[in-house]
Structure formats: structure tokens, C-alpha cells
């Protein structure tokens, strides 16, 4: 599979992903000596925050480039597909920050997470929920449609409601401790073009190469009405789905 991620672009344009994750570490409450799996560890910036507790943390990610960046910061990171986890009661907790929306189908992921946890183990995560980046999705779907590509079919993300995801968690053997959809407008220090470059690759790759940059630029122009202020600052319309669940 092609690796669409660039560790440099991620470090430049996605630093906020880990910077905003302190509440998730608090929810996880990692303890020294616990075995914790970080699902979708990216470049390991968030994993390092969890490891600072003294827990033994393993990170997995599908991107070889991001796993290499995580290993460079001393994380035990592995290239693995979260839909094909093969761990059996190996972890006290599984955590995931801003990654589950990339992992489709969700049931394949939940099956593996449930098996990876010991009974009583916890699954604590935050990812994009219903309505996440809705303006961005609407603009990008429109620019793809205008170019004769089915934009809706190219949406690479899964943004469920709390009720839908809670039902899936329960089906896979979890008790829900808490789950909520939380709007979190997110300032983009490096702007919308950089966000689209870093996170929109899966979308724009549906177009022939020469059309990708003009399409991204058109999406940026459309989005300025909703997401850019008069001073030129961009804020993305993030909505987080946050939960803590316990394996029965
Ligand atoms: C998110 O964290 O919600 C997100 C990140 C990249 C693309 C889409 C959503």
C-alpha cells in the first residue's frame, strides 16, 4: 500500500493533534508498569506523553514514515494494520488519539481491540465524531463533483454519532463508562492549504495529478467564508467523539 504520510508535513502542520491531547491522557490515567497500546500512534508525539507516566507503551500505525518518526523519538512503534490486530489479552489499556476515523471498517478494529485487552482493561479514545470537519468535507466533495469525480464516495473518514459508536462498543464486549460528542473549534496555525495538504491526500488522490493543486486551492477559497477570520486566521470545525469503555 502507498504511504501517503510525510513525517515532515505532519510535524509542521499537525503538531496541534498531540498538543490538544492532554485531556485524553488525563482520561486514560496511565500508571507505571501498565501495558498500553496506542492505536494509530502517528509520529509518536502523543505516545510519548502516555509513556511519560512510566507505563510500557507500544504504538502501532499503518504508515511506515510515521512509525519511523515515532521510533526516532524512542517509542516502541510498529507498522501494523489496526484492522488486523493479533493480540490476546496483552494490554491493560488501549488508547487512541485522532486516529479511529481513518480505520474502516470500525468493527474489524473493535474486534481486535477487545481481544487485545484483558478483562477489566480500558479503551479510551478521542476521534472525529458526527459533524466533524463538516465544512471541509462539503467543500472538498463539491470540488471533486465539479471535476466529474464522486466526492462523497471519496470521503476517507468515519465520523459516527455517540449512540452509534456506543452500540458498536457494546456489541464488542465493552461497558460504556462515558461517551460524548464535543465540538472543539481548532485553530490551524499553518492554515487551510497546509491542512488539506497534510490530511486531504486520500481525497485529492481521486483526481488526476494535474487537477489536485487547483482543486485544493478552490476548496480553500470556498472554505474562507466559513473558517477564516478577517485577520486571516483559520479555525477548523472539529467535533470530537470522546469515550472511555471497559472490557467486560
Ligand atoms: C480529526 O482529527 O478529526 C481529523 C484529522 C484529519 C482528518 C480528518 C479529521
Ligand 1 center from residue 125 Cα (angstroms):
14
Q: Residue 48: pLDDT band by 50, 70, 90 thresholds?
A: very high
Residue nearest atom 7 in ligand 1 by C-alpha distance: 199
Pocket of ligand 1 (CB under 6 A): 98, 101, 128, 132-133, 157, 199, 238
Strand, helix or coil at 239?
strand
Ligand 1 center from residue 28 Cα (angstroms):
21
Q: Closest ligand 1 atom, CA of 136? A: 8
Ligand 1 center from residue 95 Cα (angstroms):
16
**Element housing 126 (H / E):** strand 117-128
Residue 152 is placed in which grid cell?
A: 462523497
Ligand 1 center from residue 128 Cα (angstroms):
6
User: What whole-number distance in Å separates Cα of residue 175 and Cα of residue 231?
Assistant: 46
Domain boundaries, the chain: 7-247
pLDDT at 143: 98
Q: Closest ligand 1 atom, CA of 200? A: 7
Q: Is the pLDDT of residue 1 over 80?
A: no
Superfamily of 7-247 according to CATH? Vaccinia Virus protein VP39 (3.40.50.150)
> Which residues 6+ apart lie within 8 Å of 143 measured at CB?
151, 215, 216, 218, 219, 222
Strand, helix or coil at 152?
helix
pLDDT at 2: 80
Mean pLDDT over 128-138 rounds to: 98
Q: Is the pLDDT of residue 96 over 90?
A: yes
pLDDT tens column, 156-192: 999 999 999 999 999 999 999 999 999 999 999 999 9
Q: Closest ligand 1 atom, CA of 17? A: 2
Ligand 1 center from residue 129 Cα (angstroms):
10
Amino acid at each position: 500500500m502507498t504511504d501517503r504520510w510525510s513525517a515532515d508535513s505532519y510535524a509542521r502542520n499537525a503538531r496541534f493533534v498531540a498538543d490538544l491531547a492532554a485531556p485524553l491522557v488525563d482520561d486514560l490515567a496511565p500508571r507505571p508498569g501498565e501495558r498500553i497500546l496506542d492505536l494509530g500512534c502517528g509520529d509518536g508525539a502523543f505516545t510519548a506523553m502516555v509513556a511519560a507516566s512510566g507505563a510500557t507503551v507500544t504504538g502501532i500505525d499503518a504508515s511506515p514514515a510515521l512509525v519511523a518518526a515515532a521510533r526516532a523519538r524512542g517509542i516502541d512503534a510498529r507498522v501494523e494494520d489496526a484492522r488486523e490486530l493479533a493480540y490476546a489479552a496483552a494490554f491493560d489499556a488501549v488508547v487512541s488519539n485522532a486516529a479511529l476515523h481513518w480505520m474502516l471498517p470500525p468493527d474489524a478494529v473493535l474486534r481486535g481491540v477487545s481481544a487485545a485487552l484483558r478483562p477489566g482493561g480500558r479503551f479510551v479514545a478521542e476521534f472525529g465524531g458526527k459533524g466533524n470537519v463538516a465544512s471541509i468535507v462539503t467543500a472538498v466533495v463539491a470540488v471533486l463533483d465539479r471535476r466529474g469525480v464522486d466526492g462523497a464516495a471519496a470521503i476517507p473518514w468515519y465520523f459516527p454519532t455517540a449512540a452509534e459508536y456506543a452500540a458498536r462498543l457494546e456489541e464488542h464486549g465493552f461497558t460504556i463508562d462515558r461517551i460524548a460528542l464535543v465540538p472543539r473549534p481548532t485553530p490551524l496555525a499553518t492554515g487551510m492549504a497546509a491542512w488539506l495538504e497534510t490530511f486531504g491526500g486520500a481525497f485529492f488522490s481521486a483526481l488526476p495529478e494535474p487537477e489536485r493543486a487547483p482543486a485544493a486551492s478552490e476548496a480553500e477559497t470556498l472554505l474562507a467564508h466559513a473558517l477564516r477570520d478577517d485577520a486571516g486566521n483559520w479555525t477548523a470545525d472539529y467535533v470530537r467523539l470522546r469515550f472511555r469503555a471497559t472490557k467486560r
